[in-house]
Structure 1
Amino acid sequence: MGEDGSVTSAPQRPDGPTPTPRLIATDLDGTLLRDDKSVSLRTVAALAAAEEAGIEVFFVTGRPARWMDVVSDHVHGHGLAICANGAAVVDLHAGREFVQVRSLPRATALTVVETLRAAAPGTSFAVEMTTGINYEPLYPPFFQDPGAHVATAEKLLEEEADDTAAPVLKLLAHHAELAPDEFLALARSAAGAYASITRSSPTALLEISGLGVSKASTLELCCAERGISPAEVVAFGDMPNDVEMLRWAGASYAMGNAHPDVIAAASGRTVANNEDGVAVVIERILAERAAHQG
């Protein structure tokens, strides 16, 4: 679920365009958060300064709503966060209430399970719903979710499959032997016609959402509601689940610890998450804005 990335030893100087944005969209794990999952004092100050300057900040993450405690105190104004790779918009000011849900149809999820079992034998699954996560016996358990129900994906998806059933936010697929990028490529080839497939973990753990659902597409919807164009957005990320968002935004930054696909997608580069790479860019944007206004 988390977007962990390895940290490079030599930091890069942030580069790329720094327009005067109306919205900053940032990933969390491996991006805004340090590796110990903390938000540094420098980053807290930068986020507050951006909001003070009238720039909205959106946290856009693969995390489920229940794992947003790490940044809940740092959501200002609107209070919204985009969770589960775009499958949910959550109001962190209102007890993590779901404002919008873009679910993965259960029938589609069952098709993906069947397809991946055939294409990559040994794959185990978890099902993330609005009510929490449940997973198969062979799936690596989440220490954050000790109360999860354990059953086959087929059983989890078919149970209560009616109008009262909790929406499925995403399907997770884990493989103990395949390399992460190899597993992603295989899954997209086999099941990419049915759903959006990405990854954010350093392990072979895939995240599967409804077709067309991504951080980028949900961020685009949120921006459209506010009359904000892509050119007015600055985005930050480090893993493949950030790629579409970084391509969509007018200016985007790959972290110093980013996956190669992220570096290729972004228009700029900043230093690693442990070196406050997001804060570095925000500080520069605000300094340039102040100089221009002065």
Structure 2
Amino acid sequence: MGQDGQVTAAPSHHSTPRLIATDLDGTLLRDDKSVSERTVTALAAAERAGIEVFFVTGRPSRWMDVVSEHVHGHGLAICANGAAVVDLHDGARIIKARELSRPAGLDVVRALRAAAPGSTFAVELTTGIHYEPAYPPFFLDPGATVASAEKLLVDAGPETSTPVLKLLAHHEEMTPDGFLALAKDAAGAIASITRSSPTALLEISALGVSKASTLELCCQERGISAEEVVAFGDMPNDIEMLSWAGTSYAMGNAHPDVIAAASGRTVANNEDGVAIVIERILADRRAA
């Protein structure tokens, strides 16, 4: 069977979608973090056809260089799992931040230290990331402050008034899904908790903040309904978005919970699964 034959989807409520929302790592990007020529061509064709494309990712705005040249039209992307809307036409400037309050962040830290001893933390601000001494270092962010999460969240320094976009929590011994389940039990009433890493690394945002909720806000501004959105993803941080969109695709390499949440499935990121679906959408549109 050819790779196009492996794409399955429930019928969309709208034959002509108005917006495509796609995750990046493990979805649009190949494993080497490149965007294939086929994908570049498909994204450009969608924009020419009047279909907006939103990149919706857990990445911080400063790591968006991998796709910045492929953003057309509006120039916007949703970063940090919905905590930031950024303008990639203006140097990845954050134009909207849905911040995690520092008191809520402290409550999450205390809850996870009690429930999962050995947890270490990083604090992602609108200006960059800072982390604890035992947290795996971010080599892409060499200027980070290293201190306890409590100090990073409450110390009266120049960054104290800077918005917190999310916390990151890491555990050396727990399984990724096990750590996620435990954290949701311990602190799910305080904040939104998800994961996108193959390791036991959690991403913690303000309660109610997700890729889906921020995408919904962006769509409301454009008069676009959920039924007019086609979404793509591969990891648990994509589940709300895939469930919200009228039509959604789990990648061939997706987490089992993502496959269960999506209305359809495409092939893996390394096989241009997003591009294949976009090509089909445009072909159907031309045939209509």
TM bucket normalised to smaller: over 0.9
1:252-267 → structure 2 map (5 Å cutoff): 252-267=248-263
One-letter amino acid of the structure 2 residue matched with residue 230 of structure 1? A
Say whether the 8 Å CA contact 2:153–2:160 is kept in structure 1: no
SS of alignment partner, residue 224 of structure 1: helix
1:66-215 → structure 2 map (5 Å cutoff): 66-160=62-156, 165-215=161-211
Q: Any unmatched runs of 5+ in structure 2?
A: none
- After the TM superposition, list the runs of 4 or more consecutive aligned residues in structure 1 that deviate by more than 3 angstroms: 160-164
Change (3 A) 1:134 1:11: farther
Q: Given the alignment, which residue of 7, 15, 34 partners 1:14?
A: 7
1:32 matched to 2:28: yes
TM-score (norm 1): 0.94
> What's 1:274 paired with?
270
One-letter amino acid of the structure 2 residue matched with residue 13 of structure 1? Q
- Distance across 2 between alignment mates of 1:28 and 1:165: 30
Change (3 A) 1:163 1:125: closer
CA drift of 1:197 comes to 0.1
- Distance across 2 between alignment mates of 1:203 and 1:280: 29
Say whether the 8 Å CA contact 1:86–1:213 is kept in structure 2: yes
- Distance across 1 between alignment mates of 2:285 and 2:8: 16
- Distance across 1 between alignment mates of 2:137 and 2:33: 19
Change (3 A) 1:12 1:125: farther
- Distance across 2 between alignment mates of 1:162 and 1:21: 45
TM-score (norm 2): 0.96
- Distance across 1 between alignment mates of 2:188 and 2:5: 34
- Distance across 1 between alignment mates of 2:239 and 2:40: 25
CA drift of 1:20 comes to 1.3
Say whether the 8 Å CA contact 2:82–2:211 is kept in structure 1: yes
CA drift of 1:159 comes to 2.1
SS of alignment partner, residue 90 of structure 1: strand
Q: Given the alignment, which residue of 190, 208, 222 partners 1:226?
A: 222
Residues 6-25 of structure 1: CA distance to partner in whole angstroms, max 9, x if unpaired? xxxx9971111353100000
CA drift of 1:245 comes to 0.1
Change (3 A) 1:70 1:163: closer
Q: How many residues align?
A: 283
CA drift of 1:161 comes to 7.5
Say whether the 8 Å CA contact 2:154–2:160 is kept in structure 1: no
One-letter amino acid of the structure 1 residue matched with residue 73 of structure 2? G
CA drift of 1:287 comes to 0.3
Say whether the 8 Å CA contact 1:103–1:169 is kept in structure 2: yes
Residues 193-222 of structure 1: CA distance to partner in whole angstroms, max 9, x if unpaired? 000000000000000000000000000000
- Distance across 2 between alignment mates of 1:162 and 1:229: 41
CA drift of 1:97 comes to 1.1
- Distance across 1 between alignment mates of 2:25 and 2:159: 34
Change (3 A) 1:262 1:132: same
One-letter amino acid of the structure 2 residue matched with residue 69 of structure 1? D
- Distance across 2 between alignment mates of 1:252 and 1:91: 25
Say whether the 8 Å CA contact 1:12–1:269 is kept in structure 2: no
Say whether the 8 Å CA contact 2:108–2:187 is kept in structure 1: yes
One-letter amino acid of the structure 1 residue matched with residue 266 of structure 2? T
Change (3 A) 1:41 1:280: same
CA drift of 1:143 comes to 1.4
Instruction: Calculate percent identity across the aligned residue pairs.
Output: 78
CA drift of 1:41 comes to 0.3
CA drift of 1:160 comes to 3.3
CA drift of 1:116 comes to 0.2
SS of alignment partner, residue 117 of structure 2: coil
CA drift of 1:265 comes to 0.2
- Distance across 2 between alignment mates of 1:148 and 1:164: 15
C-alpha RMSD of matched pairs (Å):
1.4
